[in-house]
């Protein structure tokens, strides 16, 4: 069998052909293991194909250290849903370290793989990366807007800045999209009774009941946000902002809290979130999610000039998935908080 030979190219082609014809059997696997144990080289891409096809723990243990150093091999294992949590963990570590490298195409590939195959355990890291990336994306956008008005269109460095700005916005959008898809998968796989047990964390104390009218307003705002999702991104995100700020104000009011130097009704989303964070009303993953919602919804409050089209339907849909996640958490954990604390 050509798998045992010294030529790695022949070995790789033979294995690929066997897998392609669904003919890779135990004998072929044994031959590959013998080749690996004797120190013969096999390309990572081929090893990933075999591990994904056979789920051989013996082969995987033999090549794991080799594969974990290669991002593309890790992505291949993740997209094949190979049952090793270390694969996702290492990808997240690499993504966190490489997220700010604008010219690094691996970061996009990692996010796209996580979007389709990542677990809910990846959400905290993805939200933290997004929270760090949004200010950078905005900075790049403003730089791009400034140089748009300059008379240096033929300047290579100017054109490079345009490319970097576009890449950064695209990366932030892909992060939001991934977070939305993973959150949806998590909700569909989670029984209602196993929703986050955050009530013990926030310490209800002397909470007062949240008025039913607040629930109606949140529901109505969220409904309008979804209605305009594909029609008008700005209008959709404005209604989304009203929905979450209505909930944030209700949470502050139920705790008898309000921002300094302003009334609850006049407070901005950022001020409301600061109060809720200070009093421990939000778990860590929701803190990052709500900051992300607030950041993107704030885009609708200012003239974005030539960058108005940055508010794409895809971005809007992804932000609304985060809004839905927060509102669901709010409805499940906050409405009965006062009664539970009595």
Mean pLDDT of all residues in the chain?
79
**Interval 157-206: pLDDT, tens:** 444 444 455 567 778 788 888 888 888 887 766 544 333 333 333 344 44
Tokens representing 160 are 């490079």
At residue 145, the pLDDT reads: 52
C-alpha triplet 250, 256, 257: angle, nearest 5°: 80
Highest mean predicted confidence (pLDDT) among 91-100, 138-147, 256-265: 91-100
For the chain, how far is it from start to end, CA to CA, in angstroms? 74
For residues 307 and 301, give the distance between their C-alpha atoms in angstroms, rounded to a whole number: 13
Q: Domains of the chain by range and CATH?
A: 70-148+157-185 (no CATH), 212-335 (1.20.120.330)
Tokens representing 53 are 């096809």
Q: Per the confidence metrics, is the pTM higher than 0.85?
A: no
For residues 193 and 323, give the distance between their C-alpha atoms in angstroms, rounded to a whole number: 21
For residues 314 and 79, give the distance between their C-alpha atoms in angstroms, rounded to a whole number: 23
**Interval 220-230: pLDDT, tens:** 999 999 999 88
Chain-centroid distance of CA 36 in Å reads 37
Q: What is the DSSP string of 285-309?
A: HHHHHHHHHHHHHHGGGS--GGGGG
């Amino acid at each position: 069998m050509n798998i045992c030979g010294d030529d790695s190219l022949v070995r790789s082609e033979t294995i690929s052909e066997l897998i392609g014809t669904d003919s890779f059997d135990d004998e072929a696997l044994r031959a590959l293991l013998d080749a690996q144990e004797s120190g013969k080289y096999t390309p990572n891409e081929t090893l990933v194909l075999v591990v994904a096809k056979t789920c051989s723990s013996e082969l995987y243990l033999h090549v794991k250290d080799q594969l974990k150093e290669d991002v593309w091999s890790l992505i291949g294992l993740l997209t094949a849903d190979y049952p090793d949590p270390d694969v996702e963990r290492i990808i997240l570590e690499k993504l966190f370290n490489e997220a700010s490298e604008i010219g690094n195409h691996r970061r996009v590939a990692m996010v796209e793989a996580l979007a389709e195959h990542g677990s809910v355990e990846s959400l905290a890291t993805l939200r933290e990366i997004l929270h760090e990336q949004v200010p950078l994306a905005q900075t790049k956008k403003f730089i791009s807007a400034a140089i748009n008005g300059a008379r240096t269109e033929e300047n290579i460095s100017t054109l490079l800045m345009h490319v970097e700005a576009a890449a950064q916005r695209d990366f932030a959008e892909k992060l939001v999209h991934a977070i939305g898809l993973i959150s949806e998968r998590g909700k569909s796989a989670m029984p209602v009774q196993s929703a986050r047990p955050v009530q013990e964390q926030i310490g209800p104390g002397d909470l007062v009941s949240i008025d039913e009218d607040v629930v109606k307003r949140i529901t109505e705002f969220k409904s309008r946000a979804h209605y305009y999702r594909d029609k008008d991104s700005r209008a959709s995100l404005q209604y989304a902002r009203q929905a979450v700020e209505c909930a944030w104000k209700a949470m502050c009011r139920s705790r008898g809290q309000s921002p300094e130097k302003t009334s609850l009704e006049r407070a901005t989303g950022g001020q409301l979130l600061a109060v809720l964070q200070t009093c421990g009303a939000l778990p860590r993953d929701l803190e990052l999610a709500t900051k992300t919602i607030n950041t993107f919804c704030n885009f609708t409050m200012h003239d974005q000039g030539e960058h108005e089209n940055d508010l794409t339907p895809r971005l809007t849909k992804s932000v609304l998935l985060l809004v839905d996640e927060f509102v669901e958490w709010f409805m499940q954990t906050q409405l009965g908080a006062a009664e539970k604390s009595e």
